[in-house]
Amino acid sequence: MTDAGLRHGRASLGLSFGVQGVAFALLVTRIPAIQDQYGISDGLLPVFLAAVPILAGAGSVATEKVVARVRPAAVLRWSQPLVLLALLGVGAGREVWHVAVALGAFGLAVGALDASMNMLGVSLQRAYGRSIMLGFHAAYSLGGIVGASLAWAGARWDLSLFASYLPVVLVLLPAALAGSRWYTEGAGPKEKEPGPAGAGGAVSFRLLLPLCLVMSFAYIGDSTVSNWSAKYLQDVLGGSEQLATVPYNVYMVTTLLGRAVGDLGVRRFGAVAVVRSGSLLAAGGFAVVATAPGAWVGMLGFTMLGFGLCVIVPQTFAAAGRMFPGSSDAAVARLNIFNYVGFLVGSPLVGALGDAWSYRGAMLVPMVLVLATLVYARAFGPEPARYGGGHERPRTADVG
């Protein structure tokens, strides 16, 4: 693989992460409008919302089987357009069954997309010989900020869902298809060495389990911020309705900033140190949120959460790739399922505890779970996989 080929592959994959961030933000930030357009009751809405991550998990499982015959680049090349078309379908329908079909297609395609994107990211990081995964997830965060801003504009101008989604899809679909020409895998199956789990690098769930738990804990924390930050700031900390919209925006921006510089931290201090630091910072953020006397101190806690949680998920995928170099695609696909497990568990868990006990107390649960990441931190840096200088191996390609 030439240096130019790796650079093009890295740029095109970064574009794919960014496009996915835009698409997902446009969906989740317009849920009230989707509910209104289709007349979905409050009782039925959780069923629709839960179906998307469940089907995404199924899509990730299917991707593990598909990539045994078709390379991840091909899966990504076709799953991303399907996600965008499914998003458009969500805005175009009129009957409940229309949105059910569109959301079902969105969920399945997102599972395949998330799995294949991270498979390629792990493969490219192996080729680079240094940490680049956080940069890809920074592109996703940037896309999320763009998508949320576009959703705000659509709501502000009272546009229909279809009118909001159509221009975005018309721009992003050709861009994604054009960028897919340069998808690159850093190493083919024959170039990968057997992993530590046995002959042929078969994935051992026992070895992968610590990373699966960390992935779930991270997404429980993330979904807590996504779903409860506005309500918490307004109802518990006494912030205004306008101020209550700020914590999630702050969280998204700090996530982007943390990921933009996170790879430098991994190269300098190693993945284990970065994950430990991120876990401690995130746990501190939840502690500040839980004990905050007012809205502005609570805002500080959400800022800490963005900087802390942002490093964990990308490094978890990277660690799976190092742990199973002979079968990293399968490891990433299985690990990706726990992304959706955390998303499914986090919001209902905090809501149930908040109603039964208190929302301040409920914030301590994700705090404890994030702290539990410290127990599994060694899984992020097995000695054979920590490269030159104690942290990185010599670069196989100097591609910038």
Residue 353 lies in a domain: yes
| Same domain, residue pair 52 and 15 | yes
Residue 35 lies in a domain: yes
SS3 365: helix
Verify that 280 and 313 share a domain, yes or no: yes
Whether residue 222 is found in the same domain as residue 156: no
The total number of structural domains in the chain stands at 2
Q: Is the pLDDT of residue 395 over 60?
A: no
**What is the sign, positive or negative, of the torsion defined by CA atoms of 377, 379, 382, 386?**
negative
Distance CA 9, CA 70 (A): 18
Could you give the C-alpha distances from 156 to 30, 149, 150, 315, in angstroms and in order?
A: 12, 10, 10, 37
Q: Does 27 map to a domain?
A: yes
What tokens appear for 372 in the block? 């539990």
Q: Evaluate whether residue 30 is within a structural domain.
A: yes
For 11-36, what is the mean pLDDT? Answer: 93
Write down the pLDDT at residue 2: 75
> Mean of the per-residue pLDDT values for the chain?
89
Per-residue model confidence (pLDDT) at position 393 = 44
Instruction: Give a yes or no: residue 393 inside a domain.
Output: no
**Residue 64 forms part of a structural domain:** yes
148 and 285 assigned to the same domain: no
E strand or H helix that includes residue 213: helix 205-231
Closest C-alpha to 334, from 72, 76, 104, 111: 111
Give the residue numbers spanning the domain of 29.
1-185
222 and 160 in a common domain: no
Instruction: Determine, yes or no, domain membership for 274.
Output: yes
Partners of 387 in beta bridges: 391, 392
Long-range contacts, stretch 38-42, CB < 8 angstroms, 24+ apart: 38/93, 38/94, 38/95, 38/96, 38/98, 38/99, 39/96, 40/96, 40/99
Q: Taking CA 133 as the corner, what is the angle to CA 131 and CA 136, rounded to the nearest 5 degrees? A: 135
Average pLDDT of 357-376?
95
Q: 242 and 168 share a domain?
A: no
Give the C-alpha separation, 210 to 47, whole Å.
Answer: 29
Question: What is the mean pLDDT of the segment spanning 151-168?
Answer: 92
List, for residues 112-134, the tens digit of each pLDDT value: 999 999 999 999 999 999 999 99
Neighbours of 199 (CB within 10 A): 8
- Same domain, residue pair 60 and 144: yes
Dihedral sign of CA atoms 380, 385, 390, 395 in order: negative
Does residue 305 carry a pLDDT above 50? yes
Q: CATH number, domain at 323?
A: 1.20.1250.20
Residue 13: inside a domain: yes
d(CA 342, CA 223): 8
Is the domain of 54 the same as that of 176? yes
Cα gap 38→346, rounded to integer Å: 26
Tell me: do 166 and 208 sit in the same domain: no
Cα–Cα distance, 9 to 11 (Å, whole number): 6
Please report the pLDDT score of residue 382 as a whole number.
53
117 and 4 inside one domain: yes
> Which burial class, exposed, middle or buried, applies to 3 when counting CB atoms under 10 A from its CB (0-12, 13-18, 19+)?
exposed
Span 129-146, pLDDT tens digits: 999 999 999 999 999 999
Verify that 255 and 293 share a domain, yes or no: yes
Are 31 and 164 in the same domain? yes
Angle, CA 336 vertex, CA 106 and CA 332 arms, to 5°? 125
